[in-house]
Amino acid sequence: MKRRLLQFGLPLLSKELTEMANRRRTYIIRTIYALLFLGCVGFIYMDSMVPQMSNPLAMLGRGREIFQAMVFLQFVAIYLLLPAITCGVITQEKERNSLGLLLITRLSPSTIILEKYLGRLISMLTFLMLGLPILAFAYSLGGVSPAMFINGLWLLILAMFQIAALGVLCSSFFRTTVAAFIATYLLGFLLLFGSAIASELNLLFYGDIIRALNKVVNQIPGFNNNFSRGSMDLEFLFFAPYWFDRFSWTPGSNSVVKTLIFSLPILLSTLVSLMFAHYFLVRRAFLPANNFLLNLFKSLDRLFSSINNNRVTRGIVLVNDYVHLPESKPIAWRETSKKSLGTFRYLFRILVLLEVPILFLCIIIATSNPEPIVPGAVILLWIIWGLTVLFLAVSATSLIAGERSHETLDVLLTTPISGSELLDQKIAGVKRLCMVLLIPLLTIVLFEAWWKWENSQMNRGNQYESQWLAYLIGSLLTLGIYLPMLVYLFCWIGMKIKSQTKAILAALGGIIAWCLLPFILAFPLFILIPRLNTDSLIYGLFLGPASYVVLNEIAEFHEFGSTWVPLVLNAMIYGGFLLLFRTLCRNHIDENLGRLGYDNNSYYRPDIDSVEGISFDQQSQLSSDI
Amino acid sequence: MSTQPAMVEVKNLWVRYGKYEAVKGISFSIPKGEVFGFIGPNGAGKSSTIKVLATLQREYDCDAVKINGISVKKAPHLIREMIGYMPDFFGVYEDLTAREYLHFFAAAYRINRTRRKAIVNDVLELTDLTEKIDAPVDSLSRGMKQRLALARVLLHDPDLLLLDEPASGLDPRARIEVRELLVALKEMGKTIIISSHILHELSQLCTSIGIIEAGQFVTQGSLDHIYKRLELSRVVHVQIVGEMNGICQKIESFEGVKSVSVQADRIAIQLQEDQLAVEDLHARLAATGVKIRMFQAEAMDMETVFMKLTEGKTA
């Protein structure tokens, strides 16, 4: 009997929960989340309730606002936190070489997947349960219909299932936590918003197809009333908050039934993710250490070579990529000739892959848009910015963290290369990457500036939308400052955090938090100090680096009254940050890497063949200790 | 009168990681050309001390830590020219070939370009890796990687080699190969500090040893000196032809013999070497008229020394 109980005892789930309970950071993160969450809901309560405090009856029925705010905050938490929580669930076992041990036990692959999945769901559930007191409170205030209540909980749980399953799938497929982390966020983004973006850009006539499909569906009897928002319903099929917003306003059991029906695609995507996770678990359990990017570039290499070998070009070679032995800068040599994100031929592939579709899209977008602001180009620029941050985070944080994880750092540090020289050589490959990423960004910026100039000639758009020169200078300054700033910031994070995986995750998490910082700070400020109006704190937006990029693209400078003041202010703030991060990296590299440095500027270089070149005075000076 | 400074001089070295004291005031001095064996259990402070000498430890207190008379703290850049450091892990770039790896470090040590090729060939020959010159590093065996790491530390012809557990994780053949290489380096006059757990090998290689436990030296000096100080007896195995009537009593009566035990086919004699040398024992045995078939002195056992001196404590 006891043996049977043990067999059904969910040992892996018990282990996961025990491990989680033993980690101090579990409680720290939970406390921070609780404070942020309860604080946000509290501020919303104060904002909406304080004017009604004098009349308690007026407060009745206002629970709906608090409930909705709570549900949307929980959705944000699920989409932001859950990929990070779940992406390491299998990859950590692979990295510790313990997945093989699990697979040879009596646990079947499906049990492993489900227990791991449950373990992370319980973890997320503890976060969501922090909302229960608020839920009870909002319900007691009235205004929350049973249908809204059921819809909210059902969709929250479904969103949790969906994202956790996607995280488990990526974790089962990839070998490292970093790859799974990036893939989970990218796939999640594509799953939730890919359809809407493709429709907006009308990629491969996707928007036309969706609109046609919508017309067809609307002609089916019984469906014509349900797709009331047109093609949007089809574009956001997998996005739970959309359906909450769609059906939470209508009371009655009908809205619950509709929510259940329209949430079927979300449920289906969850099941598909879990099935694929199960499929890949054993097949991709023992992957050899390989460089995904390098393999991708090698296959692209073969493709490009086969295209190049035709009657016209006859395998023409524009740049000879022969690898010589290192001359005077060995670290830079390795970064630019041996790393997949540093070598010329592979960077050229990235450039072609990004630049050709961008040029193509720019032409399509320009021919179909009469306004000075081109939404398609704006979205494209933001996507390329996102990719740029991702590429830089991976490559710049790995500069030092990678040396540490491959146990080569100590050996490198005992060579006579000075700290600043080491840093300069290390970032040589990342600099090349920056140049390559700069080209597609510049293409879009120049295209948009030209388009604004064209429109300014025809006096189209408002006074800010057609200021092409301010847009161009602002964009160029942003590119010129942000790219090196990000490189030095990520490099500094890589020096500070010892594990490569943690460094990359911290870099990505840090930059997202920095971009959201003005909104995180402004929200409580506006609520706590009601006399503040938006104009008085509008420049606080520039506390986040993404704000100016967004404002400049959509030309939202009405509150500032000028395009130049925000431009100069933003350039000064982030120019300062660039100098700060550069100083942190260059001047403190020996300290950050833990080796003895030589602070004297007059760095003495002896004859390499012997140290007998040191004079007697120098010897006696150097031999006196402390 | 000029006195040549010791190659390594460490006085009252303390290394702390927060409240944890890894090294507690150790002092030692190593003359040029010596091979110093650094012995101690895990966590004793060996690697921390080696890291101080390799300029990889920023925070430490001392009265003096000098290499070739130059303070490590004051001129780490000069020290790096003088040392060859091999950590207790491989520290090799697996995306390079052996040739690229060695040229990489030759450039890092700023060896003249015209001399690099010859130096790389020399160190590869010394480490018996010439045939593997164009092999990717990740295709080499553990022993070969270790020899490649040794080749790397020899590139700039350093005066002092700091080798942290160079034979750990190697199979017996690879261990012997590495040991032979170290013997060759010793004969080339290099000063070597080597930490190891394989005590038997250290005894064959080192001219002096330091046993460290819980951050403090329990003993240091030449092996003979330590054996004598600990009054360790050496065991001599003797096979005698014919009857052994009364022989054991006679041997026991020799001054310097601690005990005699009769085993299946031999007699094991425990000897106080400072009172009776092994060769004297042989002479006295022969003088008794017995016919000796075998006379074999057991090698000094460093494991016994280690076990006797350490208690298994960590700092």
Q: What is the DSSP string of A183-241?
A: HHHHHHHIIIIIHHHHHHHTGGGHHHHHHHHHHHHHHSTTTTTT-TTTTHHHHTTT-HH
- Averaged pLDDT score across all residues of chain A: 81
For residue A613, pLDDT over 70 is answered with no
CA distances from A126 to A161, A266, A604, B18 (A): 14, 22, 59, 35
Chain B residue with CA closest to A421: the answer is: B108
From CA A580, how far away is CA A484, in angstroms rounded? 12
In a domain, A619, yes or no: no
Q: Residue A534: pLDDT band by 50, 70, 90 thresholds?
A: low
Same domain, A314 and A414: yes
Examine residue A584 and state whether it is found in any structural domain, yes or no.
yes
More confident residue, B74 or A602: B74
**Quick check: A624 and B71 CB within 8 A?**
yes
Sign of CA dihedral A159, A164, A169, A170: positive
pLDDT at position A549 over 70: yes
CA–CA separation, A269 vs A407, rounded Å? 41
B274/chain A closest Cα distance in angstroms: 41
The answer to whether the beta carbons of residues A611 and B78 sit under 8 Å apart is yes
Helices and strands: H and E segment counts in chain A: 30, 0
**Among partner residues A334, A411, A606, which is closest to B87 by beta-carbon distance?**
A411
Across the interface, which of B56, B69, B111 has its CB nearest the CB of A413?
B56
Among B117, B120, B169, smallest CA distance to B145 is for B169
Q: Which residue has the higher pLDDT, A49 or B115?
A: B115
> For residue A401, is it within any domain?
yes
Which residue in chain B has the smallest CA separation from A402? Answer: B93
Determine the straight-line distance between the first and last CA of chain A, rounded to whole angstroms.
71
Query: Do residues A389 and A534 share a domain?
Result: yes
pLDDT greater than 60 at residue A170: yes
Q: Say yes or no for a CB contact (<8 Å) between B57 and A594.
A: yes
Compute the nearest-CA separation of B311 from chain A (Å).
31
**In chain B, what are the domain boundaries?**
8-228, 233-299
| Residues A276 and A306 placed together within one structural domain of the fold | no
CA distance A135 to A149: 9
Alpha helices in chain B (DSSP H): 46-53, 76-82, 98-108, 113-126, 142-154, 172-187, 199-205, 223-229, 247-252, 278-287, 302-309
Indicate the angle between helix axes B142-154 and B172-187, nearest 10 degrees: 10
Confidence (pLDDT) at B272? 81
Give the separation between CA A422 and CA A197, rounded to whole angstroms: 43
Contacts of A402 in chain B (CB under 8 A): none
| Strand-strand pairing, B160-164 and B83-86 | parallel
Question: Does residue A185 register a pLDDT over 60?
Answer: yes
3-state secondary structure of A121: helix
Domain containing A540: what range? 295-593
pTM: 0.75
Q: What is the rounded distance in angstroms from the CA atom of residue A429 to the CA atom of residue A369?
A: 38
Tell whether A77 and A50 lie within a shared domain. yes
Range among A140-149, A152-161, A322-331, A355-364 with highest mean pLDDT value: A152-161
In a domain, A600, yes or no: no
The residue of chain B nearest to residue A617, with distances taken between CA atoms, is B70
Contact across the interface for B110 and A418, Cβ inside 8 Å: no
Q: What is the dihedral of CA A215, A220, A221, A223, to 10 degrees?
A: -70
A97 touches chain B (CB under 8 A): no
Q: Cβ separation of A410 and B56 shorter than 8 Å?
A: yes
Query: In the predicted model, is pLDDT for residue A45 greater than 80?
Result: no
C-alpha distance from B109 to closest chain A C-alpha (Å): 6
Q: What pLDDT shows up at residue A623?
A: 52
**How many structural domains are present in chain A?**
2
Let me know whether A378 and A523 are in one domain: yes
Rounded distance between C-alpha atoms, residue B62 and residue A597, angstroms? 17
- As a CATH number, domain B8-228 is 3.40.50.300
**Model confidence at A604: pLDDT above 90:** no
Q: Percentage of residues in chain A with pLDDT exceeding 90?
A: 22
Domain boundary among A231, A262, A284: A284
Pairing of strands B208-213, B64-67: unpaired
Residue with tokens 């959309």, as numbered in its chain: A242
| CA gyration radius, chain A | 28
Please answer yes or no on whether A333 and B104 come within 8 Å at the CB atom. Answer: yes
| Measured torsion, CA atoms of residues A219, A225, A228, A234, in degrees rounded to the nearest 10 | -60
| Among A416, A596, A625, beta carbon nearest to B63 | A625
Is A410 in Cβ contact with B156 (below 8 Å)? no
Return the CATH number of the domain spanning residue range B233-299: 3.30.70.100
Q: What is the 3-state secondary structure (H, E, C) of A139-190?
A: HHHCCCCHHHHHHHHHHHHHHHHHHHHHHHHHHHHCCCHHHHHHHHHHHHHH
* Residue in this structure with the two tokens 């200078």, named with its chain if needed: A473
Low-confidence residues of chain B: pLDDT under 70: 1-4, 197-198, 200, 228-233, 299-302, 304, 308, 311-315
Domain B8-228 and domain B233-299, same fold? Reply is: no
Cβ contact B228:B58 at 8 Å: no
Residues A241 and A340 in one domain: no
Torsion over CA of B215, B220, B226 and B229, rounded to 10 degrees? -80
CA atoms within 13 A of residue B261's CA, in its CB half-sphere: 6
Residues of B in contact with A597 (CB under 8 A): 76
Identify any residues that bridge with B28 across adjacent strands, giving them in sequence order: B10
CA count, 13 A, side-chain hemisphere, B65:
26
Helices (H), A228-369: 232-235, 240-247, 253-262, 264-283, 292-308, 330-337, 344-367
Pairing of strands B64-67, B70-71: antiparallel
Whether B82 and A327 lie within 8 Å, measured CB to CB: no
Q: Are residues A117 and A232 in the same domain?
A: yes
Phi-psi region of B89 (alpha: psi -120 to 50; beta: other; left: phi over 0): beta
Do A280 and A301 lie in one domain? The reply is no
DSSP 3-state of A558? coil
Q: Are residues A304 and A222 in the same domain?
A: no
| A339 shares a domain with A457 | yes
Same domain as A330, residue A240: no
Interface membership of A416 toward B (CB under 8 Å): yes
Cα A421 → chain centroid: 31
CB B49 within 8 A of CB B112: no
pLDDT digits (tens, 9 = 90+) for B52-85: 999 999 889 999 999 999 999 989 999 999 999 9
pLDDT per residue over A346-398, tens digit each? 777 778 877 888 888 777 777 766 666 677 788 888 888 988 998 899 889 98
Chain B residue numbers touching A346 (CB-CB < 8 A):
none
Pairing of strands B267-271, B257-262: antiparallel
A622 located within any domain: no
Do the beta carbons of residue B22 and residue B215 sit within 8 Å?
yes
B54 with A410: Cβ contact below 8 A: yes
- Structural element, H or E, at residue A361: helix A344-367
pLDDT at A225 > cutoff 80: no
Inter-residue contact A87 to A181 (CB < 8 Å): yes
> Do A169 and A273 fall into the same domain?
yes
Select from B73, B83, B93 the Cβ nearest to the Cβ of A596: B73
Whether B108 sits inside 8 A of A406 (CB atoms) is no
